[in-house]
Each structure stands twice: as structure tokens, then as C-alpha cells.
């Protein structure tokens, strides 16, 4: 009996350790998810505050200029200002943010489209936002990505497992099964994107637009497609 109780005791302790490890891992996962949610919430709030500030400045300017004085823009403003008044900046160019003193301040981080004093809020094409920094995508062929890979691809590529894969030649849109849409000036022949021929009665043209294969009933002569009957007649006449 004592031997059995000892085994039960050891088993209970082992099971408790498993439960404790599971709860610790669960707590770490919850903390990670919570931190990511807090970052997203902070970005949303700061974007809203930045937009509210611009709206308030613009509203105050309109109230204090009831004669509908036109807003200044471009070179008339201080560096970074898109539009301004005699009181200061109202809106800023990409890469700048509006401070409470109505000055446009350059984003502290590189490659930001929009930002605030905490860091980047929006990134350009081929970058993704991570902890208020714009991180370049690992591939040049994806306009949007995340830490795991591409999330979309440019025309001429298709997305597979986070990687942008090149379509076959002259294809504009494709997937893992093949080409869906050919580039302008090309047509799908069932296997490839072929150059659309402007040569009458031609079936296939080369890269230069010259005919290389004629339709049935026509013969190729000097990059032109001549009807077989006419071709034979011309051949007979040349021997007479």
C-alpha cells in the first residue's frame, strides 16, 4: 500500500508540473497578444489625435479668417508644410507630422509615410510596420508584406506561401495553375501568351511582330501569309 501511495504522489507532482508549465505558456501567449493589441490601439489613437489636431487648426483658421483668405501652400510655407497660414502649418507632407506648435517635424524614423513623435504609423510600398518602424520586405516583388513574407504581389507575379513567384513570359496575372491574363498585345493560345499578330491570316508572330506560322490554308512567304492556291499559281507562273 505504501508503494502504491508513493507512485500516486510522484504522479500527482508530475501532473501538477505539467499544468503549471501549460499555464505559464498560456500566460506568455496572452501577454504577447495583449501587447500587440495595445500597440495597434495606440497607433489608432495617435492617428485619430493627429487628424483631430489638423481639423482643429483648419477650423480655427477659417473662423479667424472670415473674409475667406486663401490658404498658402508650397514654397510659401515652412519646410515640410503642405498648407499653412500666418499662424503656422495646417497640413504636412508625407514624412512629416504636425506638432502642437503648428510646425511640421520630420519623422524620426526612416521611410515613414505618416508618423508622430513616437515613430512610424504608415509605411510605403515594399515595407511593413513593426514596433513603429518601417521594415523593408525581404523580396522586392511584393508591395505589401509582414514579418513572415509577402502578403501581395506586383503584376507578373503570384503569391505562394509568402513568396512572390514570377509568372511565365508575357503573362500579367497568374496563379499556381497557370496564366490568367496576358499582357497587352498578347493572347493566350492554351499554353503560352503569344504576341498578337497584325499580319493577316497569321497564326503566330515572333518577338518583332513578324509572322512565323500561318493559318491553315496559307503559306508563309517573306513574313506574309499567302493563300495556298494563289501561292501555287505564283509558283507555276514563275516557271513559265
Q: Are 202 and 196 in contact (CB under 8 A)?
A: no
Count of residues making up the chain: 240
Q: What is the pLDDT along the chain (240 residues), one digit of tens a residue?
A: 444 455 454 445 445 554 455 445 545 444 444 444 455 555 555 555 555 655 555 555 444 443 333 455 555 688 889 998 888 899 999 889 999 888 999 988 888 889 988 899 999 989 999 989 999 998 888 899 988 899 999 989 999 999 999 999 999 999 989 999 998 888 888 888 888 878 888 888 877 778 888 988 899 988 889 988 766 666 545 544
**Whether the Cβ atoms of residue 188 and residue 179 lie closer than 8 Å to each other:** yes
pLDDT of residue 46: 52
> What are the respective helix, strand and coil percentages of the chain, to the nearest 5?
30, 30, 35
CA nearest neighbour of 94 among 45, 59, 127: 127
Residue boundaries of the structural domains of the chain: 197-240
Q: Is the dihedral of CA 71, 74, 79, 82 positive or negative?
A: positive
What is each CA distance from 55 to 97, 98, 197, in whole angstroms? Answer: 14, 11, 56
pLDDT at 69: 37
The model carries a pTM of 0.46
Whole-angstrom Cα distance, residue 197 to residue 212?
10
Q: How many CA atoms lie within 13 A of 77 on its CB side?
A: 21
> What is the model's pLDDT at position 70?
41
**CA neighbours closer than 13 Å in the CB half-sphere of residue 173:** 4
Give CA separation, 151 vs 74, 122, 128, 148, in Å.
36, 16, 10, 9
Amino acid at each position: 500500500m505504501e508503494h502504491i501511495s508513493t507512485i500516486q504522489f510522484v504522479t500527482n507532482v508530475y501532473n501538477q508540473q505539467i499544468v503549471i508549465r501549460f499555464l505559464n505558456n498560456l500566460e506568455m501567449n496572452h501577454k504577447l497578444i495583449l501587447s500587440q493589441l495595445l500597440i495597434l490601439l495606440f497607433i489608432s489613437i495617435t492617428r485619430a489625435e493627429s487628424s483631430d489636431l489638423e481639423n482643429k487648426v483648419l477650423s480655427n483658421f477659417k473662423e479667424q479668417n472670415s473674409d475667406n483668405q486663401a490658404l498658402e501652400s508650397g514654397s510659401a510655407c515652412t519646410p515640410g508644410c503642405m498648407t499653412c497660414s500666418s499662424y503656422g502649418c495646417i497640413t504636412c507632407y508625407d514624412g512629416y507630422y504636425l506638432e502642437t506648435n503648428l510646425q511640421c517635424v520630420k519623422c524620426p524614423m526612416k521611410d515613414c509615410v505618416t508618423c508622430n513623435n513616437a515613430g512610424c504609423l504608415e509605411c510605403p510600398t515594399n515595407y511593413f510596420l513593426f514596433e513603429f518602424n518601417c521594415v523593408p520586405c525581404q523580396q522586392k516583388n511584393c508591395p505589401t508584406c509582414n514579418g513572415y513574407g509577402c502578403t501581395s504581389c506586383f503584376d507578373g507575379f503570384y503569391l505562394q506561401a509568402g513568396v512572390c513567384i514570377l509568372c511565365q513570359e508575357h503573362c500579367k496575372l497568374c496563379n499556381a495553375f497557370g496564366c490568367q491574363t496576358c499582357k497587352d498585345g498578347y493572347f493566350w493560345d492554351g499554353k503560352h501568351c503569344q504576341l498578337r499578330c497584325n499580319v493577316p491570316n497569321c497564326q503566330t508572330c515572333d518577338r518583332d511582330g513578324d509572322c512565323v506560322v500561318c493559318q491553315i490554308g496559307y503559306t508563309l512567304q517573306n513574313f506574309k501569309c499567302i493563300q495556298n492556291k494563289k501561292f501555287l499559281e505564283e509558283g507555276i507562273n514563275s516557271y513559265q
